[in-house]
Amino acid sequence: MDIRQVSSPTETRGFDTRQLREAYLIETLFRPGEICMTYSHLDRTVIGGATPLSEALPLVANKQIGSPRFLDRRELGIFNIGGSGRIVVDGTEHELKRTDALYVPMGTAEVAFISDDAADPARFYFISTPAHAAHPLKKITAEDANLINLGTQSDANVRQLRQYIHPDVCTSCQLVMGMTLIADGSVWNTMPCHTHDRRTEAYLYFDMAADTRVIHLMGEPQETRHLIVANEQAILSPGWSIHSGTGTGRYGFIWSMAGDNQDFNDMDFVKMQDLK
């Protein structure tokens, strides 16, 4: 498990490209036959990717988790962005096709990831955050999610946002997750931008061609920085940072939030003229 310490706005202002990427970009999440995880001290969020082949991959705790079982004091949100697969939760299988999600509550003893076809494996992206209560397990499909249409063609930011793990759809302790898909011909996400100092956010960029890149904007509104992001790479976004991007081609992203509240609209908007 990779460990990421918290970097302050003051030190981030002086980071070069290598330091920015080491602090905020997760480059490798999906290795065939493995589970890859990053433990971020931003709200103690765990970001992971599981790519099972012919054998199931169990989710196990380690020193950073600090408890005998991974979900003794945590909750878990899982998205499948690959071939069809299954999540085994305490002996019960839950089928997840592409863009399906599963909320797994605190107190779950065993979780394992399975692909239906090793030649077309599932690619399970997951986020885990600390929890204080056990809520019902729930599978959420794209049709179950709360759909919000955003943007205009004239602003090149037409997109569909789906709230999956969200108070209106699925009860959780603090984890909120969803998926945004950018329409063909549009390039921008989350612009005009915002911050939310009460919550950490993470973005997984996906559904991209091999040579497509997203230019992800981050940093303080008056001290912006950028990261060049490839397919199936993730961004850590602290509460003081903007989080916005534009792509050279088709892309989508899975977003997650954790922190003091679950109010999706709790945002501090930044005027375009204030960006530097």
Residue 39, Cβ neighbours under 10 Å: how many?
20
In angstroms, the CA 45 to CA 129 distance is 5
Global pTM reads 0.96
Model confidence at 261, pLDDT cuts 50, 70, 90, reads: confident
Report the binding-site residues for Zn(2+): 194, 196, 201, 243
pLDDT in tens, 225-249: 999 999 999 999 999 999 999 999 9
Q: Could you tell me whether strands 188-189 and 252-259 are parallel, antiparallel, or unpaired per DSSP bridges?
A: unpaired
Cα 198 from Cα 196, distance rounded (Å) = 5
Q: Is the dihedral of CA 211, 38, 258, 176 positive or negative?
A: positive
The number of folded domains in the chain is 1
As a whole number of angstroms, the distance between CA 222 and CA 61 comes to 40
- The domain containing residue 137 runs over which residues? 2-274
With CA atoms as reference, report the closest residue to 111 among 164, 165, 52, 163.
52
Tokens of 203: 């973005």
Tens-digit pLDDT profile for residues 180-215: 999 999 999 988 899 998 899 999 999 999 999 999
> What tens digit of pLDDT does each residue of 75-117 get?
999 999 999 999 999 999 999 999 999 999 999 999 999 999 9
What residue numbers does the annotated binding site cover?
194, 196, 201, 243
Q: At 29, which CATH number?
A: 2.60.120.10
